[in-house]
Amino acid sequence: MAEFAFAFMDCEFGGLDPELHDITEIALILTDYRLAESVSHEWKVRARPDRITAEAAEIQHYDAAVWEAQALPLRQVLTELSALLPKDKKVVPAGQNVRMDVLFLERGYRSCGIPSPFDYHVIDLATLYYAWSLVAGETVQALSLRQAATAAGLVQGAVPHRALADARLTLETFRHYVGRLAPRRAPEEALAAVVQPLSGSTR
């Protein structure tokens, strides 16, 4: 696994259709295969107001004047993002429902004529959270970031929809459940715990 790096990402969009809506924010937290962080960055993306729904604008606190002053063109953002990624690693997108982020990013890279820097694999928090629930015997209420982070005791209440905050919370939640799935005892100890009572039993 040492040849992999993980790009924990979160994007905010003007809606849920890559063909109709623009990316408004992109956040990246780069880790190695052990989840040790090396780089983080966040960009506001110059989105077209007519490609942002009223609902998305309200959730993200989108302000056209702020974006006009602070946001960068998509081509510049994607170029800067690619430049932060290691060239000698397979960079795997990771995040909460990260396939949606990948869909928007891949469309953005194509529209700008820039090669996508990401590996074809993805690592998704929702899958890890569900796997943990099966091992722990817990009932999953939802597969959202808010639900996974709340169950982990990392948040209470609403989760703000901002790219870097969501990417950071996703990474922290991911680390939490990886730790909960780690073996608590060595295999030899687990085997001894089963064999010893059996060997002392009478029939």
pLDDT digits (tens, 9 = 90+) for 54-101: 999 999 899 999 999 999 999 999 999 999 999 999 999 999 999 999
Nearest to 108 by CA among 81, 85, 131: 81
- Rounded Cα distance between 17 and 54, Å, is 14
Q: Does residue 137 lie in a domain region?
A: yes
Q: Does residue 54 lie in a domain region?
A: yes
Q: Does residue 70 lie in a domain region?
A: yes
Q: Does residue 192 lie in a domain region?
A: no
CATH classification at residue 178:
3.30.420.10
**Percentage of residues in the chain having pLDDT higher than 70:** 90
Residue numbers of the domain that contains 141: 4-183
Q: CA quadruple 41, 161, 10, 114: dihedral positive or negative?
A: negative
Domain count, the chain: 1
Q: Does residue 105 lie in a domain region?
A: yes
Q: Does residue 139 lie in a domain region?
A: yes
Q: Does residue 173 lie in a domain region?
A: yes
| DSSP annotation of 142 | -
- Rounded-to-10 torsion of CA 135, 138, 143, 147: -130
How many CA within 13 A on the CB side of residue 11? 29
pLDDT tens, 112-127? Answer: 999 999 999 999 999 9
Q: Does residue 63 lie in a domain region?
A: yes
Enumerate the β-bridge partners of residue 27. 10, 42
